[in-house]
Structure 1
Amino acid sequence: MVGSETPCALVVMGVSGSGKSTVADHLAGRLGWRYEDGDRFHPASNVAKMSAGHPLTDEDRWPWLQAIADEIDRLSAARERAVIACSALKRAYRDILVHGRDDVRIVFLDGAPELIAARLTTRKGHFMPPGLLASQFRTLERPGANERPIIVSIDAPVERIVDDIVSQLNLVPQ
């Protein structure tokens, strides 16, 4: 699925528990692209901090975001494509990831705090504790129209969310 305007990367963003990893993995499978979990780019110190129940500061996030941006640059140079799950909660964070490129698109998973909180209570084995959800919503800056975001509601089954994203991408099949 590669058209003339096909991005090299889709960054699936949202607060913890919005379904970034699940949706990004399914979307990558649908498109035949590689899936990358942005969490794997976190330095060990960030994981330890979040595991201890402490929210990250912007200073904690810069090296993590730059590592993801470097991977996006590598993808573009190699003419590869990936769907990357990354919270990217602030405009400044997304600016690092996109840094003026036209070949990176933001996909915002939009959901009510109550729905996401309910999901977090059933999630097992993740380093992000449910208690940090409120800080994520306080940090969240919804993407503006000038970021060309694809915005989808998470109040649907995963396959329908992926259908919505693919429809909004309007890719030309190869």
Structure 2
Amino acid sequence: MRTPHVVVVMGVAGTGKTTIGPLLAARLGVPYAEGDDFHPEANIVKMSAGTPLGDDDRWPWLDAIGAWAHGRAGFGGVVSCSALKRSYRDRLRAAAPGVVFVHLAGDRELIADRMAHRQGHFMPTALLDSQFAALQPLDADEAGVAVSVAGSPEEITDRAVKALDDLPDALR
């Protein structure tokens, strides 16, 4: 990327946000923040119990991520955040207007398989359907790119870097 942006690595649970985010940050030479760390404890408890979050649960979390992104404006950074709905991305953009999104995209079967094999994460595979139901892919007017999650983490990161480099200036 030509200038230091804050990149939000987004997508449904199990797409690899926590894996790709740090790899992308290292490639861009900027700090990484784990979006899950911004959740209030009540959200973690709710998701651990298999209950999907509602918008009222998400607003404080999104505001905390937006504040971090705002603080990194001009310096760059990468943060993971599901950012499933346009309204969530709009809220992040309201806090940090220059954010750029990398949507890690894949089919449900691949993502469910990855979720079934990961350990130590609070998000159960049972919530994947609610994540796909809520997902609103990036619109053409949103600064961002969609990147397939097929392949190794390094291949996904390479695709993300190239896609960000190829973004038209009007979407940066």
User: Which residue is equivalent to 1:143?
Assistant: 138
The answer as to 2:37 corresponding to 1:40 is yes
User: Which residue is equivalent to 1:110?
Assistant: 105
Q: CA deviation at 1:73?
A: 1.0
CA contact (8 A) 1:152 1:165 kept: yes
The answer as to 2:52 corresponding to 1:86 is no
Q: Could you give the per-residue CA deviations for residues 17-41 of structure 1, whole angstroms, max 9, x where no partner exists?
A: 0001101111011111111111100
CA contact (8 A) 2:20 2:153 kept: yes
More RCO (CA 8 Å, sep 6+): 1
Counterparts of 1:104 and 1:32, CA distance in 2: 16
Counterparts of 2:96 and 2:66, CA distance in 1: 11
Counterparts of 1:38 and 1:69, CA distance in 2: 10
User: Which residue is equivalent to 2:157?
Assistant: 162
User: Which residue is equivalent to 2:49?
Assistant: 52
Counterparts of 2:71 and 2:26, CA distance in 1: 20
Q: Could you give the per-residue CA deviations for residues 75-106 of structure 1, whole angstroms, max 9, x where no partner exists?
A: 11xx4221101000000000011128552100
Segments of 5+ residues of structure 2 without an aligned counterpart are: 167-172
Considering only aligned residues, what root-mean-square deviation do their CA atoms show, in Å? Answer: 1.5
Sequence identity of aligned pairs in percent?
Answer: 49
CA contact (8 A) 1:8 1:72 kept: no
The answer as to 2:11 corresponding to 1:14 is yes
